[in-house]
Amino acid sequence: MSDLLTSALNPRSVAIVGASENIHKIGGRPIHYMQRHGYQGTIYPINPAREEVQGYKSYAGVSALPEVPDLALIAVGGDKTVAAVEECAARGVKSAVVIASGFGETGPAGRELQDHMVATARASGMRLYGPNTQGLANFGTGAIAGFSTMFIEVPPMDGPVGIVSQSGGMSAMAYGLLRGRGLGVRHVHATGNEADVTASEMAWAVAHDPDVKLLLLYLENIANPEMLAATAAYARERDLPIVAVKAGRSASGQKAASSHTGALANEDRTVDAFFKHHGIWRVRDPHEQARAAHAYLKGWRPEGRRLVVISNSGASCVMGADAAEDMGLSLAELSPVTQADVASKLPGFATASNPIDVTAALLSNSGLFGDVLPAVAQDPAADLFFLNIPVAGAGYDVDRFARDAAAFEAATAKPVAVAAWQETVAEPFRQHGIATFPNEGEAIAVLAQVAKHTELMRRSRVQWDALPHVQVPAGTQGFLNEVDSLGLLARHGVPTVPMHLCRSADEARTAFDAIGAPAVVKACSAEVPHKSEHGLVALNVQTREQAAELFEQFWTKMDDMGVQRDGVIVAATRKAQHEFMVGARMDPIFGPVVVVGDGGKYVEALKDCAVLLPPFSEADVQAALRTLRIAPLLDGVRGEPPLDVQALSRITVAVGQVIVGASGAIASLDLNPVMVGGTSQGAVVVDALVELSKG
Amino acid sequence: MSDLLTSALNPRSVAIVGASENIHKIGGRPIHYMQRHGYQGTIYPINPAREEVQGYKSYAGVSALPEVPDLALIAVGGDKTVAAVEECAARGVKSAVVIASGFGETGPAGRELQDHMVATARASGMRLYGPNTQGLANFGTGAIAGFSTMFIEVPPMDGPVGIVSQSGGMSAMAYGLLRGRGLGVRHVHATGNEADVTASEMAWAVAHDPDVKLLLLYLENIANPEMLAATAAYARERDLPIVAVKAGRSASGQKAASSHTGALANEDRTVDAFFKHHGIWRVRDPHEQARAAHAYLKGWRPEGRRLVVISNSGASCVMGADAAEDMGLSLAELSPVTQADVASKLPGFATASNPIDVTAALLSNSGLFGDVLPAVAQDPAADLFFLNIPVAGAGYDVDRFARDAAAFEAATAKPVAVAAWQETVAEPFRQHGIATFPNEGEAIAVLAQVAKHTELMRRSRVQWDALPHVQVPAGTQGFLNEVDSLGLLARHGVPTVPMHLCRSADEARTAFDAIGAPAVVKACSAEVPHKSEHGLVALNVQTREQAAELFEQFWTKMDDMGVQRDGVIVAATRKAQHEFMVGARMDPIFGPVVVVGDGGKYVEALKDCAVLLPPFSEADVQAALRTLRIAPLLDGVRGEPPLDVQALSRITVAVGQVIVGASGAIASLDLNPVMVGGTSQGAVVVDALVELSKG
């Protein structure tokens, strides 16, 4: 395990400040739990009023202990909490877990107390967990510095799952759901207000426990994304899947989250992009975490998304096909050999193509599954198998089905999921270790999740080794004017429309002669970022005199507006097969974020765009474009050629490299429209706005 | 109950052709079931080889029976099936259920046998159920002409639910899931191949059983939508909710469905529109049917969609808010009085606004729910309540929570749903009759479903009393040219762009003078429905001579193309704030179907449109427009005024009335673009194509 938090996750000694004889009190439970779950270290109850607590010698204070404990659990409330933190820090305790609530989550006064505790801890090098937390639990060592009721409700069993959660309730729930499915859990850690140690840091530590094969996170904000990114990178390296809940997806959810832990809401699309970028799978709630756990722990890492559906009910075949399409899986096209083989095993009226309906004939011939399964097991077109048994019972040899399915799974070495809602049918499959679900929706969702998550984890990571050195005008802040904005982009390889910046009507005439008709004439001022709203753009300019007239008109208008006059642009006209937008901004949490999507006037209203986190490749951009609502247009419709997505992707990568290369000097970039032509016709940026960071 | 199918659903006597002593054979089970479940009518086993079957006198054939049975269950296979149908028909049996498969679903030969059975039955006035069916079961009377294994797996109990399903497996599954939840089920009917009696007809009959309070359907196609529409209308009248699965939603699902029952796939958007129009709620599978059943049976008919979330976990409050937004519910804004009242009952650090977090303080004060609930019960801003208890157990007085929740539900008379995944927590709530779910996703989904379904059921139905008499040119079929298409629409009140049809260059000049610049010139030929693809449209025509030149050019081009030359159009130019499309077509199954959506070039590729079934109101169109991806543009963005959706809605209603009024003479109408302006600026159709029906 990582050294980072060893004193907390694997302490040699634990002091419990506020120790209680009553095992149902917060100060009593941890001692009881440690005793019960074989903790081998030393337990130091701190309770000045008692000689002994639960059979252990009790001490008056941390300062009175015979040694400095690795970990102190502070289970006292109110003012005593702060005093206990101070005492622990003074004694040199390495880690302290603060259970009490009433701090940062309640408002400024509580926040101040919390800050004081953190400062105290940091001054002495002590790490602080909480406050407002249910604590930590490591069932590998029995070191349980927490009081969750759930450890009584569902008995612990050490196992390959680690849980890290900001919320104590959600850590308990995930634990309970996993244990209810018979899965072992090693780590159950809640970080509460995260005054010092965050869930990301905790995740890093847990990911370094080599026995952990699945890491579950519950987050309401992402306080230090760099640490979570590093954890994810390490996890991918050792093939450890991370499945995260990030609550507060919706506007009202974010509002509720901020009143729950005072968490700063992260913009949800960016959160999605962050998880995707780092190969973390995002789900809605602990139920979705728990339902897929068995599949991950079986080591499922599918090669693709092609599903085979097998059922004894034609209706289930239909609904299985529907569910597969809903979840982004395709039905595998079985080879003619496989189909003939399957057909030879089935009654005449059954279906041998995928989905495979073995029909109610299963009632009279319990060997049908066993006959059919080997025929499909080796078909290279299949990545995933789904057996749906919506009806069975008296007269069906269900145990034989389960045995046949287990043999099949062993033979194919590919994921096999079963749906059976009748407990009597599900049970034999579970006994044979098969991933069994109460309905086809869940079974197919889990197959799809693991297939897509494996893709994300294995996606080859891009390195941007040679980042451009982006220079921004010294002493400037706020918006650059259009010419400077486009110039900056052009210097970094982004194709921009030919244009001239004119300072006189004569210059406008000369520029028009160079550019040719039809030209575009527009005012240029760093103080007027949205020119068209002020009538400062003219399209389809046909003559040099028109250009000169427009120069005079815009020049005067800028003067009337009292804005800085950088000049008037005469630019070439470029037509697009489709107009896109590319943007980038420095997110206060995640740093550089790039957006690409449908362009034009309604970008903000229609929000048909995809978010990418650097570094990313042109292939990543192309995949992102496929998620847009306008994706059908990429291939060309109504006789149009396919769009030059390669050119658009090149621009998007360049924009990402510019914002990263600017090392924080650029606050945002907005390229709109980006005129994209048909195949090989390229793409060109017609207007752009670069915003420099303040100060 | 409706007279229609009385002989089948409530027979006075049942003959079982192929009766068996073995209660696990298809010919044995129905007799066993009827005996066991108190059937009071006469049972006639037909088995020439036996004197008695299961204690009843056995007969050699239907013709040997002492009376004509109401219902015959034909449980023999192969050729004997057809012979048995013939014998039943000859004897005057009223209804026959044919269990055997191997007919219409297997191909042309089976189809021919099936048609023969139907013809035989119809000739004698006998109704036929199946073939390829699991049969019928009425637990109100014990008349069970079916053999489902599920009636052994989960013991029947009469109750308020009716199930009608094309698939026997799905009827059994829905039955089993409901019974597993402790709900009583009266009707379990499977219609199989529907050679004669369809699920729609069966649904009509079951809807007329006054004891049925919830009707569940499983369909793979909708064979006679008029009957289902009539059933839905009757059901709304008596406040009977219908919840339907229509499988084959996806392309691969539809393919699977057609090989399952040979069902003709219905276009899925139209199916959605049909269900919505008739107030039928559509779900994915029998699990979704079963999970909402208790809520319907409790009589939940919410007044609105405003939800209150209450939990003892802050994280659950956040996820509850997320789930509510996902499902289209809003969080109720509690009144200041309610909030103050709630706050006074909670510890200082708890949240009194919605979602209400009573916090882990619930552990030390089991009265907290009971204190808080009465405070919110009467807030008029709340329509729906959701209690989420993700963590409880030892130390929590869960039974008190359940009592308090039951008292609350009684006091508020509004829907109250509870989520508790721990069986020990859920059980007390269930004991108190509260709708209890294993997770918040399901709980909130059911609340949202019942709220939205109630809206649909209560939506005031539109009547189109005065339909236009639509005359189409006699002796014509196929496409009308543009002028005739627009003319037809204009005659029925649809605003169209001013235009002249010219037959000479001089006429084009005169037309231009009348229309003014800029004009549009386009060729007009019924044989060239897509003019722009042939370069036969010119925009922005500025002079009368340009118009004349274009006339000559298009006139010659049409001659070169060898098409009928109806003339050349000179039309006014109309600009839109946004371009829409309105279309209508005669669906082979559903009849007239209207589509409204985003217009322009990419209508087919982007499919941003909504389907409406006539009759509908302008308000219905406006609601449909809100479901479009471009809906944010309706209110006006970037300083634009809101779009004149009223004008667009008027056009859409007119198009619906035209296709209905044409009584089948019009195959399709396509209005694209429909130029829609800002508020009160109206909408005008710039191009249209009317297709007349063949022969």
pLDDT along chain B (695 residues), means of 10: 73 97 93 96 97 97 96 92 97 96 88 96 96 96 94 96 96 97 97 96 96 97 93 97 93 71 64 96 97 97 96 92 95 94 82 85 83 90 95 87 94 94 95 95 97 95 90 87 97 97 97 96 94 92 97 97 96 96 93 94 91 96 96 93 98 97 95 95 96 87
pLDDT of residue B692: 95
Q: Which of A66, A67, A45 minimizes the C-alpha distance to A57?
A: A45
A676 interface with B at CB cutoff 8 Å: no
Among the partner-chain residues B252, B353, B393, the one whose CB lies closest to the CB of A149 is B393
Q: Edge-to-edge strands of the sheet including A127-129?
A: A42-46, A13-17, A71-74, A95-98, A127-129
- Residue predicted with more confidence, B283 or A588: B283
**Same structural domain, B283 and B381:** no
Q: Is A46 helix (H, G, I), strand (E, B) or coil?
A: strand
CA separation, residue B608 to residues A220, A602, B627 (Å): 34, 16, 9
Cβ distance B392 to A149 less than 8 Å, yes or no, reads yes
pLDDT of residue A473: 85
Token pair, residue A300, equals 């499922």
**Which own/partner pairs from A497-500 qualify as long-range (CB within 8 Å, at least 24 positions apart)?**
A497/A571, A497/A572, A497/A574, A497/A675, A497/A684, A497/A685, A497/A686, A498/A571, A498/A572, A499/A569, A499/A570, A499/A571, A499/A572, A500/A569, A500/A570, A500/A571
Among candidate residues B458, B490, B511, the one where a domain is terminated: B458
Element (H, E) at A177: helix A168-180
Residue owning tokens 């470029």: A574
Please give the angle made by the CA atoms of B342, B368 and B299, to the nearest 5 degrees.
80
Q: Which of B77, B553, B628, B252 minimizes the C-alpha distance to A349?
A: B77
Cβ distance B325 to A251 less than 8 Å, yes or no, reads yes
pLDDT over 50 at A516, yes or no: yes
Q: Is A344 within the bounds of a domain?
A: yes
pLDDT over 80 at A609, yes or no: yes
**Same structural domain, B683 and B585:** yes
How far, in Å, CA of B493 to CA of B137, rounded?
A: 53
Give pTM, 2 decimals: 0.94
pLDDT over 80 at A255, yes or no: no
Range of the domain at A508: 498-572
pLDDT of residue A78: 81
pLDDT of residue A85: 97
Q: What is the pLDDT of residues A629-643, one digit of tens each?
A: 999 999 999 889 999
Cβ distance B284 to A441 less than 8 Å, yes or no, reads yes
Nearest chain A alpha carbon to B331: A252
Write phi, then psi, for A223 (nearest 5 degrees): -75, -45
Cβ distance B441 to A284 less than 8 Å, yes or no, reads yes
pLDDT over 80 at A205, yes or no: yes
Element (H, E) at B669: strand B666-676
pLDDT over 60 at A119, yes or no: yes
Cβ distance A101 to B359 less than 8 Å, yes or no, reads yes
Cβ distance B318 to A106 less than 8 Å, yes or no, reads no
pLDDT of residue B579: 97
pLDDT over 70 at A165, yes or no: yes
Determine contact, residues A597/A674, Cβ cutoff 8 Å: no
Which positions ≥6 away from B418 have C-beta within 8 Å? B386, B387, B388, B389, B405, B426, B429, B434, B435, B436, B437, B443
Write phi, then psi, for B571 (nearest 5 degrees): -125, 160
How far, in Å, CA of B240 to CA of B230, rounded?
A: 13
- DSSP labels, B375-432: HHHT-TT-SEEEEE--S--TT--HHHHHHHHHHHHHHH-S-EEEE--SHHHHHHHHHT
pLDDT of residue A145: 96
Q: Is B97 within the bounds of a domain?
A: yes
B331 interface with A at CB cutoff 8 Å: yes
Q: Name beta bridge partners: A538.
A: A521
How far, in Å, CA of A375 to CA of A408, rounded?
A: 10
How far, in Å, CA of B405 to CA of B412, rounded?
A: 10
Q: Is A228 within the bounds of a domain?
A: yes
Residue range A520-542: mean pLDDT, rounded: 93
**Same structural domain, A202 and A321:** no
**Same structural domain, A358 and A412:** yes
**Same structural domain, B91 and B161:** no
Report the CATH number at residue A84. Answer: 3.40.50.720
Mutate to test the interface with B, among A356, A389, A391 (most CBs of B within 10 A): A391
**Same structural domain, B512 and B370:** no
Altogether, the residues listed in chain B come to a count of: 695
pLDDT of residue B258: 64
Residue range A415-421: mean pLDDT, rounded: 96
How far, in Å, CA of A44 to CA of A56, rounded?
A: 7
Determine contact, residues B191/B165, Cβ cutoff 8 Å: yes
Give the B window 483-542 contacts with A, CB below 8 Å.
533
Q: What is the pLDDT of residues A462-497, one digit of tens each?
A: 999 889 999 988 878 899 999 999 999 999 999 999
pLDDT over 60 at A191, yes or no: yes
Residue owning tokens 């619930």: B362
Report the CATH number at residue A520. Answer: 3.30.1490.20
**Same structural domain, A312 and A428:** yes
Determine contact, residues B236/B279, Cβ cutoff 8 Å: yes
Please give the angle made by the CA atoms of B39, B42 and B48, to the nearest 5 degrees.
120
pLDDT of residue A77: 87
**Same structural domain, A440 and A562:** no
Cβ distance A322 to B248 less than 8 Å, yes or no, reads yes
Q: Name beta bridge partners: B612.
A: B594
A111 interface with B at CB cutoff 8 Å: no
Q: Is A610 within the bounds of a domain?
A: yes
Which amino acid is present at A198? T
Number of domains within chain A: 5
pLDDT of residue A465: 85
CA separation, residue B480 to residues A168, A539, B296, B472, B651 (Å): 69, 38, 50, 9, 19
How far, in Å, CA of B53 to CA of B84, rounded?
A: 19
**Same structural domain, B61 and B201:** no
How far, in Å, CA of A610 to CA of A593, rounded?
A: 10
pLDDT of residue B507: 97
CA B535 to chain centre: 43
B181 interface with A at CB cutoff 8 Å: no
pLDDT of residue B4: 58
Q: Which of A314, A316, A229 minimizes the C-alpha distance to A278?
A: A229
**Same structural domain, B435 and B326:** yes
Give the B window 361-390 contacts with A, CB below 8 Å.
363, 390
pLDDT of residue B266: 59
- Euclidean distance between the first and final Cα of chain B, in Å? 42
Q: Is B346 within the bounds of a domain?
A: yes
Alpha helices by DSSP H, A478-602: 482-491, 505-515, 544-561
Among candidate residues B245, B280, B297, the one where a domain is terminated: B297
ipTM exceeding 0.85?
A: yes
DSSP helix, strand, coil percent of chain B (3-state; round to 5): 40, 20, 40
A40 interface with B at CB cutoff 8 Å: no
pLDDT over 90 at A591, yes or no: yes
Nearest chain A alpha carbon to B347: A102
B40: number of Cβ within 10 Å: 9
Which positions ≥6 away from A607 have C-beta within 8 Å? A597
pLDDT of residue B263: 46
Report the CATH number at residue A610. Answer: 3.30.470.20
CA B153 to chain centre: 31
**Same structural domain, A265 and A360:** no
Q: Is A309 within the bounds of a domain?
A: yes
pLDDT of residue A151: 95
Residue range A507-522: mean pLDDT, rounded: 96
Burial A146-175 (b: 16+ CB within 10 A, else e): bbbbbbbbbebebbbbbbbbbbbbbbbbbb
Q: Which residues on chain B are in Cβ contact (under 8 Å) with A316? A: 169-170
pLDDT of residue B259: 59
- Cβ-Cβ pairs closer than 8 A, A with B, add up to 267
pLDDT of residue A266: 60
Q: Which of A423, A387, A475, A479 minimizes the C-alpha distance to A666?
A: A479
Work out the minimum CA distance from A380 to partner chain B, whole angstroms. 20
Which positions ≥6 away from B562 have C-beta within 8 Å? none
Cβ distance A638 to B312 less than 8 Å, yes or no, reads no
**Same structural domain, B428 and B402:** yes
Report the CATH number at residue A187. Answer: 3.40.50.261
A319 interface with B at CB cutoff 8 Å: yes
Per-residue confidence at A260, pLDDT binned at 50, 70, 90? Answer: low
Determine contact, residues B586/B668, Cβ cutoff 8 Å: yes
Among the partner-chain residues B218, B322, B633, the one whose CB lies closest to the CB of A315 is B218
Q: Is A92 within the bounds of a domain?
A: yes
Token pair, residue B399, equals 């039974």
Q: Is A180 within the bounds of a domain?
A: yes
A152 interface with B at CB cutoff 8 Å: yes
A331 interface with B at CB cutoff 8 Å: yes
CA separation, residue B379 to residues A660, B323, B332, B577 (Å): 52, 22, 9, 43
Among candidate residues B572, B592, B614, the one where a domain is terminated: B572
